[in-house]
Amino acid sequence: MKAAVLYEPGKPLVVEDIKIAPPKAGEVRVKVAANGCCHSDLHVMTGDMRMPLPIVLGHEGAGIVTEVGPGVASVKEGDHVVLSFSPVCGYCYYCTEGNPHLCETRPKKMGTLLDGTTRLAKNGTEIFHFAFTASFAEETVVPESCAIKIREDMPLDRACFVGCGTMTGVGAALNTAKVQPGTTVAVIGCGGVGLNVIQGAAVAGARQIIAIDLLPKKLDLAKTFGATHFVNPSQDDAFKAVMELTGGRGVDYAFEVISTAKTIELAFKMTARRGTCTIVGVSPESARITLNPNIFTMMEKRLIGSFYGSTRPRIDMPRLVDMYMEKKIKIDELVSRTCTLDDVNEAYDLLKQGEVARSVVKFF
């Protein structure tokens, strides 16, 4: 089958034929229909995020189940699935208390399936799976808990975004920060995930949603996703603008979706007393932030992080699919272009240039 393989950071992905082995116990083979071009793969391509190589990237996929290994009960051949990149065991402390995205049994070893081996190879050399999904490929084998069954009338080239960007952004607002009706929100960074934080806050009933980004085109899109006010830091001081818009109080919820120390500190600064500042993006390993601890005490501000929108995949992903089908959340507007796997490098070149929305690789 055809897959996009990363052999060396800084080099383009090689689209080539590789071998895929059948699913073992507790695994599911999926014919990939579509995969979104998310930023996190780019971190591996540039070497900012270290992974074993060679590796098949792709973690924003959806497709159709073609085969299940022994013991698989939650999906069967023909089921439509979104691929989750966070396997869950269902019985550890965090799975049981309702936070399966923090599952304790996730293996420490990167790039393999749960048993520590891979199903991908070329000429006898093993090829690793990125994020359990490896969905820049015509087919993939994933742990059962990463194949989330969805309704069949959902277009798969839209469903794939529920596997990362939509879940991460909408989930950060609804599940992690739990934005309340009538409140004020600021979102720093209006890329694919930031736009989803904005629509999550809008769904939650926030009264004022301030979008902050350097690119006017992104601020235009932010309006489509429900932002009510717009700040471009190349023209205005973002902190001052947010304070003016909120009567000098700051926002009840700030979200940082860029992941630089400077913007995290800015997000925390514009958070109101007793407000919550949520870090959504992933920073380079070496990043450090500097904050005055007295602000936590004197103002009761909270600083929290959000991983994968605090997803409970089997609840939240089918729910987001329903919300899309009922026109309560948007996905189409996030997709700026559709391409084939052969064009995957070009899609990432565009993303690097600050392309507004995402490309989706469509397999069928």
| Residues taking part in catalysis | 38, 40, 43, 59, 164
Query: For Zn ion, which stretch binds (CB under 5 A), given 31-39, 229-237, 295-303, 355-363?
Result: 31-39
Q: How far is the CB of 38 from Zn ion (least distance, A)?
A: 3
Q: Is the CB of 255 or the CB of 268 nearer to Zn ion?
A: 255
Contacting Zn ion within 198-257 (CB under 5 A): none
Q: Would you state the structure tokens that stand for residue 263, as one six-digit string?
A: 């913007």
Of 229, 29, 3, nearest to 127 by C-alpha is 3
Position of tokens 């209006």? 190
Single residue of 6, 13, 33, 38 touching Zn ion by CB under 5 A: 38
Task: Give the count of residues interacting with Zn ion (CB under 5 A).
Answer: 8
**Pick 38 or 251: Cβ nearer Zn ion:** 38
Bridge-partner residues for 19, per DSSP? Answer: 121
Q: Which stretch binds Zn ion (CB under 5 A): 32-40, 123-131, 310-318, 322-330?
A: 32-40
Rg (CA), the chain: 20
The nearest distance, CB 306 to Zn ion, in angstroms, is 13
Of the pair 66, 112, the CB lying nearest Zn ion is at 112
Do 28 and 69 form a contact (C-beta atoms < 8 A)?
yes
User: Could you give the CA distance from residue 218 to residue 160 in angstroms, rounded to a whole number?
Assistant: 22
* Strand pairing class (2-6; 14-17): antiparallel
87/250 with CB nearer Zn ion: 87
Q: How many helices (H) and strands (E) does the chain have?
A: 11, 19
Q: How far apart are CA 150 and CA 347, in angstroms?
A: 27
Closer residue to Zn ion in complex, CB, 143/250: 143
CB of 89 to Zn ion, least distance (A): 3
> Degrees (nearest 5) of the Cα angle 47, 111, 46?
10
Q: C-alpha 54: how far from its chain's center?
A: 23
**Which among 115, 113, 147, 108 is positioned nearest to 130, based on CA atoms?**
113
**Nearest residue to 79 (alpha-carbon basis) of 159, 21, 148, 155:** 148
Residues with Cβ within 8 Å of residue 285, at least 6 apart in sequence: none
**Residues 74-113 as x/- pattern, contact with Zn ion by CB under 5 A:** ---------------x--x--x-------x-x--------
Closest contact distance (angstroms) between CB of 39 and Zn ion is 7
Site for Zn ion in 158-197 (CB under 5 A): 164
Binder of Zn ion out of 35, 40, 135, 176 (CB under 5 A): 40
Minimum distance between the CB of residue 76 and Zn ion, rounded to whole angstroms?
Answer: 23
Contact indicator for 355, 346 with CB cutoff of 8 Å:
no
User: What is the distance between the alpha carbons of residues 153 and 278, in angstroms, rounded to a whole number?
Assistant: 34
In the bound state with Zn ion, the residue whose beta carbon lies nearer, of 167 and 238, is 167
In the complex, least distance from residue 129 CB atom to Zn ion, rounded to whole angstroms:
15
Residues that bind Zn ion in the complex, under the rule CB under 5 A: 38, 40, 89, 92, 95, 103, 105, 164
